[in-house]
Chain A
Amino acid sequence: MPADDRPSRLKKITQNFFFHIHSPVAHPESLKPTTTFGLGVILGCLFLILLVTGLLLMLYYTPSVERAYASVKDIVFVIKGGRYIRNLHRWAGHGMVIAALLHLLRVFYTGSYLKRRALNWNIGIAMLIITLLLSFSGYLLPWDQLAFWAVTIGSNIAASMRELTDVLGLTAVFDPGGLVKRLLIGDETVGQPALSRFYMLHVILLPLTLLVLMGWHFWRIRKDGGLARPAGTEVRSGHPRAGPPARSIKAEKEAPIKTKDLRVTTWPTVLWAELALLAACCAVLMALAFFFDAPLREQANPMLPENPAKSPWYFLGIQELVSYSAFTGGVLIPLLFLVFLVSLPFKDREDRYAGIWFSDAKGRRLSIYSGLYAFGLTSFLLFINIQFGWMSDWIAGVPRVVIIFFNPGTLIVTGYVLWSAVIRYRTGSDRHAAMALFTCAVVGFVLLTALGTWFRGPDWEFYWLKSWWPAH
């Protein structure tokens, strides 16, 4: 029987190419389920499942306007197991978007961007964006009505910088929106160039980039000293520095304190936990793929928009904002949120809060109040907009530029920023101000996404229930 002492357990990790992505030891604090909820590992598992099912789908899929829809139909109705593989791929893709968003919440609320983790936080932001792009680019490939109109709208959101350049009268000479759109879909409207580009992005460029960033992300965790832990969780028991400071190096060396490494060995503890998460992911996906089919509508018809034509669900909040103004909803507000996320670890350096959910008692209260405030403000403005319309319905001939900068979307964002500024003033803490703003943004995102997903019907009118939609 091989030896099972600590050194041989460490060797299991360090002497194995595939395992040595792990640190040989892990702190018990990092392994508590409530520290991470295993979301990072779940994302890795889902990515693995997506790679395998994606490769299988590539055997039969043809990225041409004439053949794409028929080849997806073949996958669903002719290829043995094809429908099941496609379902797995679809639900794993959605799962990855959800898990990535939850992972963002987890990392933010535990203050895990603190203590010089700015680089890894921003690698994570890049990975979130790539995950969204991966899901969005995969959306077009079936070339059905859902795909075609979602991407038509998405590509025009990408061009929505034009609304501002139009107002300024610059579009003829300076058209960044049009350039982004043509880079994305290769033409003025969605067609074969768009399908070719999206296929290349979806199967090569984005997965490869994500893979590289994944490696970097994991490596940085180790370089940053493992997951963020609350102050006071020591690596060694009876560490000299835990007690009163030693007078000199000599005194410290002679201190008669016996220390013991509190960290557990990765083999087998962490590896079993990861295997369990992988098994759980597979089990949930297999059940979902068995019971729920991925949607496939009729073939894309460039002359007949779906009514309502909706983007993928995670963009429906943005689509709701875009229905007020293309520029503010499609460019300005997402960009502001991105600037907030990217600059966060450089502005907030209150390292004492690292690794603690909601920072402290005040932080917990504050998050609840922020959530309630954002809920109230957002639903009030949405109610006004749905019930009474907006300025172009009240006053004839309102200049476009007024609506661009004064619409429910900009008012909501202004309300959030003001609230955060008040919190900053009252608490004097960047971390608390950031928590206030982030909580508002999360509540706003959830509300707008729910509105766009469930309560918007034909002609983007408000309906409480889908069964109230008018029959065509």
Chain B
Amino acid sequence: MDQASAPVSRRRFLGKAAWISALCAGGLALVSVLRSIIPQQSRSGRKFTIGRLYDFPLNTYTRVNRHKIFVWRDHEGIRVLSAMCTHLGCIVNVTEEGFLCPCHGSRFDASGQVLAGPAPKPLPCYRVSLAPDGQLEVDRHRRIPFKDKLILA
């Protein structure tokens, strides 16, 4: 009897079917279990309000500790810069030339561009908008170029 026409015994067929269905069910269950260890993107902390325009002094960077940002206000409007170093996430400090990270000495100018050190990217700017109640609202997921700011003059 040649191979193609050999009848498959009931035992073999049932054995194979059991294996395949067990592997499918087990694999799917495993995928759904393993998915739980990858955390959801946290929605909280994406958009947040930081107060009103007049809370911030003119022509200087004010650090908002709760959200790890710097807020710059001048006569034209307002701009928000991240305070987290793009190297390893330490909080940068304001210096005369701009910002300095205490962890590995990355230096940034006042517009967040990297001057020296291991930081690979400039400090990002976040989009600011005016909420209906007059509060300033920052969106951490919307990055804008440094030259743009919320014009409120």
Chain A positions near chain B (C-beta within 8 angstroms):
149, 152-153, 155-157, 160, 163, 166-167, 179, 182-183, 186-189, 193, 302-309, 322-326, 389, 392-393, 400, 458-461
Asked if B103 CB lies within 8 Å of chain A CBs, one says: yes
Is A326 within 8 A of B89, CB to CB?
Answer: no
Asked if B68 CB lies within 8 Å of chain A CBs, one says: yes
CB distance from B37 to the nearest CB of A (A): 6
Asked if B77 CB lies within 8 Å of chain A CBs, one says: no
CB distance from B65 to the nearest CB of A (A): 4
Contact of A305 among B65, B90, B118 (CB under 8 A): B90
Contact of A152 among B88, B100, B105, B118 (CB under 8 A): B88
CB distance from B43 to the nearest CB of A (A): 12
| A461→B120 CA distance, assembly (Å) | 19
Most buried by A among B65, B100, B104, B105: B104
Contact of A303 among B89, B91, B114, B117 (CB under 8 A): B91
Contacts A189-B68, A392-B114, A392-B117 given; 13 further ones with Cβ under 8 A?
Answer: A149-B90, A152-B89, A153-B88, A153-B89, A187-B42, A303-B68, A305-B91, A309-B103, A322-B88, A323-B105, A324-B118, A326-B88, A459-B101
B91: A residues at CB distance < 8 A:
303-305
| A53→B65 CA distance, assembly (Å) | 38
A306: B residues at CB distance < 8 A:
102
Is B120 within 8 A of A305, CB to CB?
Answer: no
Asked if B116 CB lies within 8 Å of chain A CBs, one says: yes
- Given contact pairs A156-B88, A156-B89, A392-B117, A303 touches B102 in the complex (Cβ within 8 A): no
Asked if B31 CB lies within 8 Å of chain A CBs, one says: no
Chain B positions near chain A (C-beta within 8 angstroms):
37-39, 42, 65, 68, 87-91, 100-105, 114, 116-118, 120-121
Contact of B102 among A188, A193, A305 (CB under 8 A): A305
| A127→B39 CA distance, assembly (Å) | 27
| A392→B120 CA distance, assembly (Å) | 11
The SS class assigned to the B binding surface is: loop
CB distance from B95 to the nearest CB of A (A): 10
Is A189 within 8 A of B89, CB to CB?
Answer: yes
Q: Nearest A residue to B83 by beta-carbon distance?
A: A303
B68: A residues at CB distance < 8 A:
189, 302-303
Is B38 within 8 A of A153, CB to CB?
Answer: no
Is A322 within 8 A of B118, CB to CB?
Answer: yes
| A304→B91 CA distance, assembly (Å) | 7
Is A182 within 8 A of B38, CB to CB?
Answer: yes
Is B103 within 8 A of A153, CB to CB?
Answer: yes
CB distance from B12 to the nearest CB of A (A): 35
Contact of B105 among A187, A322, A326, A460 (CB under 8 A): A460
A188: B residues at CB distance < 8 A:
42
Is B118 within 8 A of A325, CB to CB?
Answer: yes
| A345→B41 CA distance, assembly (Å) | 43
| A42→B103 CA distance, assembly (Å) | 36
A149: B residues at CB distance < 8 A:
90, 103
Is B105 within 8 A of A459, CB to CB?
Answer: yes
B116: A residues at CB distance < 8 A:
389, 392-393
Is B90 within 8 A of A309, CB to CB?
Answer: yes
A325: B residues at CB distance < 8 A:
118, 120
CB distance from A386 to the nearest CB of B (A): 12
CB distance from A391 to the nearest CB of B (A): 10
- Given contact pairs A179-B38, A182-B39, A323 touches B104 in the complex (Cβ within 8 A): yes
Q: Nearest B residue to A407 by beta-carbon distance?
A: B118
11 contacts between A and B (CB under 8 A): A153-B88, A153-B90, A157-B88, A188-B42, A189-B89, A303-B65, A322-B118, A393-B116, A400-B120, A459-B102, A460-B104
| A471→B120 CA distance, assembly (Å) | 29
B101: A residues at CB distance < 8 A:
459
- Given contact pairs A156-B89, A303-B65, A322-B88, A308 touches B102 in the complex (Cβ within 8 A): yes
Is A166 within 8 A of B105, CB to CB?
Answer: no
Is A305 within 8 A of B103, CB to CB?
Answer: yes
| A326→B88 CA distance, assembly (Å) | 8
